[in-house]
Amino acid sequence: MLGLIGKKVGMTQVFDANGRLTPVTVIKIEGNVVVAERTVESNGYEAAVLGSFDMKKNRVTKPYAGQFKDVCDPKKSLVEFRDFEQDVKKGDVLDVNLFKDISFVDVTGTSKGKGFQGGIKRFGHAGGRATHGSKFHRDLGGTAMCSTPSKVFKGHHMAGHMGVDKVTVQNLRVVRVDETLQVLMVKGAIPGPTSSTVIVKKAVKK
Amino acid sequence: MNIINAIEQEVVAKNEGKLSFSVGDTVKVYFKIVEGTTERIQAYEGLVIAINNSGIRTTFVVRKIAYGVGVERIFPVYSPRVEKVEVIRKGRVRRAKLYYIRKKLGKRAKVKELIRKKEVSTAEKTPVASN
């Protein structure tokens, strides 16, 4: 599966050929180095390990730096891409050109944190009436049945922590691939705040 | 932010000179309309009552009175569908947004024409040598 590590820059709009204004998310691709190769003989599966974003030297531990020995400087993000469709060798540097002939991608990121949230925001519960004597506003409501089963089933929708999840948005159209800026533009929004790390992969379902 | 600016400015720079009018001008907008497979250009004439500057999203509002009804259209300056904007008459105005014109009728809804005095050419300026 073809893919790269990128950084979310933010959103803007571009005009397409028909004059339609398209909302796009800009993803910056800094040089992705092939740090290691996984092979069937040694690992039991095929994969390419890509690294991106330089690290401050004092933050690198010796065991972590060992992975990058003889390849490149230690990188902040390390991601394994299974069955990389392109022939790559250890030490190769991949750039945004990888997406030149690809029209749809999936983008994986970490969503923005929302803190502790109630059932309405977290799961879309309907909530109760605000006025006319109603005493049921944003509460949870019933959570279980009666003396049987006399317990709340696991995974019941309740208030709790929301956000900071791994989220994948599928089938985003690639609007433009800019070589000079090393930037990829996809139509629509992607998860996470700006300057967060995202993984861009060739769309699975297209 | 710099990358986004660079992307937007690229489009803005390519269309330099498209925003060559100002608020108070009477303009004719040549707008491309796509009907199925055919394309035609429609002209829309009126008074520019506002320009909303926002990079690539910059728009301007053109107001006219059509059959006694006020009509306002908002055009994106940098849209490829705005073929060209022709200035018909320059207006002399003292504010950036002319929303007050919506409440005015007849002569009060008029904008005075801006007449700039032509700069006197240097040849005329030099006094005739008196000898």
Q: How many CB atoms lie within 10 A of CB A95?
A: 14
Yes or no, beta carbons of A14 and B11 under 8 Å apart: yes
- Taking CB atoms and an 8 Å cutoff, what residues of chain B touch A26? 3-4, 7
Please tell me the pTM assigned to this model.
0.85
> Complex ipTM, two decimals?
0.77
Partnered with residue A142 across adjacent β-strands are none
The pLDDT, as a whole number, for residue B120 is 61
Give the 3-state secondary structure of residue A186. strand
A15 with B32: Cβ contact below 8 A: no
pLDDT at B34: 87
Under 8 Å CB-to-CB from B125, ≥6 apart: which residues? none
Residues 111-170 of chain A whose Cβ lies under 8 A from any Cβ of chain B = none
- Suggest the residue from A7, A8, A11, A13 to mutate for an interface test with chain B (most B CBs closer than 10 A): A13
- Does A182 contact chain B (CB < 8 Å)? no
- CB contact A18 to B (< 8 Å): yes
Q: What is the pLDDT of residue B124?
A: 56
pLDDT of residue B123: 55
Residue-range domain boundaries for chain A: 3-118+166-202, 119-162
Say which residues have a Cβ less than 8 Å from residue B93's Cβ, sequence separation at least 6: B23, B24, B111
DSSP state of A146: B
Using the Cα atoms of residue A129, residue A134, residue A138 and residue A141 in order, give the sign of their dihedral: negative
B14-52 pLDDT, tens digit each? 888 889 999 999 999 999 998 888 989 999 999 999 999
pLDDT in tens, B78-98: 999 999 999 999 999 999 999
Question: What pLDDT does B130 receive?
Answer: 55
Sheet holding A32-38, edge to edge: A75-82, A47-54, A32-38, A93-94
pLDDT exceeds cutoff 80 at B118: no
In A, minimum Cα distance to B83 occurs at A19
- Residue B128: predicted pLDDT: 58
A30, A13 Cβ separation under 8 angstroms: no
Helices (H), A8-105: 40-43, 62-66
Which residue ranges in chain A fall short of pLDDT 70? Answer: none
Is B7 in Cβ contact with A19 (below 8 Å)? no
- Which tokens belong to A198? 């995202």
Kindly report the CATH class assigned to A3-118+166-202. Answer: mainly beta
* ∠ CA A167-A74-A202, rounded to 5°: 35
Closest by Cα among B46, B27, B22 to B95: B22
B48: which 2 tokens?
């520019």
Which residues numbered 25-44 in A keep a CB inside 8 Å of some CB on B?
Answer: 26, 28
Put simply, whether A189 touches B (Cβ < 8 Å) is: no
Closest CA to B57 of B2, B101, B15, B94: B15
Task: Using pLDDT thresholds of 50, 70 and 90, give the confidence band for residue B108.
Answer: confident
CA distance B57 to chain A (A): 8
